[in-house]
Amino acid sequence: MHVLSRDEARQRSHAIDLSTMKVNLDVRGGDSQDNTEFVVTSTFTLTSHADSTFVDIAGQVTRLSVNGEAREITQNDECLALSGLPVDTECTVEVQARCPYSHSGEGLHRYIDPEDGRVYLYTQFEPQDAHRAWPCFDQPDLKAEWSFIVDAPEHWVVASNGAELHTEPIENGTRHVFARTRLLSSYITAVVAGDWAVIDGGTWSGGANDGQKIDVPLRLMCRSSLAQAIDSNDILSVTRAGLDFYHQHYGITYPWGKYDQIFVPEYNLGAMENPGCVTFNDSYLSRDTPTFAQRQRRANTILHEMCHMWFGDLVTPRWWDDLWLKESFAENQGALAASRATVYTGERATFAAGRKIWAYEQDLMPTTHPIIADIPDVGAAKTNFDGITYAKGASVLNQLVATVGEEAFFEATRIYFQRHAFGSTSFQDLVDCLQEATGKDLSHWVSTWLTTSGPSKLVPHFDISRIGSVTNFQITDESESDTTRPHRFDVTTWAMKRDQLQMTHRFELTMEGRSQEVDPAGLLSQPAGITDMDLLVVNDGDLTYAVTYLDDRSASNALAFISACPDLMTRCVVWGALFNGVRDCRLNPSDFALAAFRHAENEVDETLADRLLELGRITLGTYVPKEQRAAIATTVGRLALRLSREHATDRSRAWLKTLFFTYPMTDDPAISQTVESYANTLTSEIVWTARTVIAASGSIGRDRIEAWLATSPTGEAKTASERAIAALPYEEEREASWSKLFVDGIANDTLSAILDGFAASSWQGSSFIDRGLGSLEYFWNTHSIALSIRYIKGLLSLPVYADSPESVEDHIDRVNRWLGEHENAAWPLRRLLIEHVDYASRAINVQRTWM
């Protein structure tokens, strides 16, 4: 397959002025599984400054014409040659093709719901998969006004970016005609079609300070079988609040007409910002009543995608080097909007104990890169949707706001949108707007924060005298980088008083060099000053991006008493610092895991409590030495057993998940019997988690799993059953599941479920890693990048044990040998393996430190 390069895109952009795109899509046969292809025709209106260029199309071209004149078809490797074009004269190019329905979540994906047989289609294109669905110039800076005509089965609902103008009956179906859009990049065009359930959300009315007032029709859509789970009141409340917030701050009225939000199955991402037709992973819906933590995560995603209507859709990165221009901003603004404009006021704080940890882990790997990355081609772009582009970028934007001030930041965004609306930009365009709004030269800030890699590492140092005074109190940057970044951040001290942590001092610091004095006034240098410092928190408020740790005294007190701190942001920052200590071999992982589980019982913020249980499970399953896990799992399992019965529904489900997690690690009969009972009696979606761990133990067989599935054959249950069957520790079942991975047309979620099952299994024989590595290049070259990424990550997701030579061989030695023997393999493929070796090596190092 052709991988579009930055140089090719730049040359084509200089050669072509694209005006309009008209797409005629015929999916009338899409409701039959026997029909594997669809017909599509794209009509381009363009002016070419050269007599030749190429169109991107992955399907088989069947007709080509220029200004109505038929042309010879020369198609090679997803490129259709256009030659003999009139130069500097507007012309019309028409391309017809037959394209396959996708099962990988890229292009035009088709899903048949096993629960009721209904069929659903949706598109997903970022960064460069629009040409899997229709012929186009598939790069972000070649924008056009798009119009869609979709022929579909008569009973189907169809949506696209523009409003539906009218429908008309045609042979074997209905034609849906949509309004022409404003200028759009190909990767955010969209069509969804099928038996969707539709909820009319009314309209949002309002506008920005640009003088416009508009009415925005709101709709929600999902599979018919999930219609009762759509939780429309909360979703629409968040949507309206987001539109209020962004119009208040961005200065440009929403330009895309309607606002549809569609929850789709077998989705590779959390969501996608197609203007007017936003798609979401339907895992954001729950057949159970969603917990507060689930609703808060969904609110963040809704507001993240809404931010893209401006950052990314209205103004688009010229090339994928500047992916951060949209993703970092949406990550940052989504959390801010949730915390300022909705009931989910803790979202900005919980970022510090959640997504930011992802940023640090990515940034500490040998594959780290600057926020402004070097992306030579689309292949590199597809693996750069990572913790640096999203979470590090968002965190660095917090530091930018702390540096220039919030009002100046929003004034810069308003200038940026007004100046570049419907265009494409590079990072310098935004920097120019920031400098104009602030009156400051930001070149040093940009060069140190955006063009360098790796995290800063801010470490406190101080002396304690015999009379308890604290002197020589400094923060030093102990990162290995030669780059010194400017930081603005707060340091706080806390004392335990009357069973509560109370803040004693807040120091607001500006750090320009490698060290910074904290307490120039000597507030802590008085006798017994240390009694004001039971807890020392660096970067309280989470204003900057830097790995921080707790000193030994603070760590000990935090593990014991952090729930007694009244400030949610402080608690989140502390938990993030404690986890940094675990990952970097400074804190005993067993102590952390037990503390995380115990504090989750009393944590008042539902989302942080949920995150603590997740961090506890990660630590117990990754960093705690294997011989210590059974005792901890028994303690935690008994706690989860009790709390899953005592807590209200929200917390109960989180504790159930933890209970099921401990099942393979403990022989405690109360835990085992309860989990086995729940596998037969729970009606919650989480029941399949219990069934999978039981299957993985070998105490049941395939027939039991199939009997469970027969009682509730939903789409989610079907996928979960594939996971449970793959987890069975029987060679025959494992081989059958392994063979499924290579069946043409395997669905993305099915592939991941099977590999997850292998990772969960108690199978004691050889793993599939050696065989998987042997087929790696074949899989990479014959499948899409999205499926290949799932394959690699799933293949290598087996538990890592430092005391097992076989585990070390699988995760380190075999992979390193493959890398040594395949030095010329595609960089995105090598990158995934290099990152896995780093992750496994870190886990092994932590385990060996505390064995």
Tokens standing for 107? 């292009």
Q: What share of the chain is helix, strand, coil (3-state, %, to 5)?
A: 45, 25, 30
* Contacts with 421 (C-beta within 8 Å, 6 or more apart), sequence order: 252, 255, 314, 315
- In whole angstroms, give the CA distance from residue 483 to residue 113: 53
Reduced to 3 states (helix: H, G, I; strand: E, B; else coil), residue 665 is helix
- In whole angstroms, give the CA distance from residue 344 to residue 342: 5
For CA atoms 59, 107, 755, 692, the dihedral sign is: negative
Q: Is 305 a catalytic residue?
A: yes
Tokens standing for 494? 């806390």
Reduced to 3 states (helix: H, G, I; strand: E, B; else coil), residue 449 is helix
Q: What are phi and psi of 172, to 5 degrees?
A: 60, 25
| DSSP H or E stretch at residue 764 | none
Q: Using alpha carbons only, how large is the chain's radius of gyration in Å?
A: 28
Q: What are phi and psi of 437, to 5 degrees?
A: -75, -30
Q: Which of 608, 484, 591 is nearest to 546 (CA)?
A: 484
- In whole angstroms, give the CA distance from residue 83 to residue 475: 63
Compute the C-alpha angle 66/70/72, nearest 5°.
100
In this structure, the strands spanning 144-152 and 183-184 are antiparallel
- Longest distance between any two alpha carbons in the chain, whole Å: 93
Reduced to 3 states (helix: H, G, I; strand: E, B; else coil), residue 46 is strand
Choice among 305, 603, 606, 733 that is catalytic: 305
Q: What is the DSSP letter of 464?
A: E
- In whole angstroms, give the CA distance from residue 561 to residue 565: 8
Reduced to 3 states (helix: H, G, I; strand: E, B; else coil), residue 603 is coil
- In whole angstroms, give the CA distance from residue 342 to residue 245: 10
- In whole angstroms, give the CA distance from residue 730 to residue 724: 12
- In whole angstroms, give the CA distance from residue 613 to residue 600: 6
> Which amino acid is residue 405, in one-letter code?
G
- With contact defined as beta carbons under 8 Å apart, do 9 and 35 qualify? no
**E strand spans, 515-583:** 515-517, 535-540, 546-548
Tokens standing for 373? 């990355």
Question: 102-111: string of b/e by CB count within 10 Å (b at 16+)?
Answer: bbbbbbbbbb
Catalytic amino acids? 305
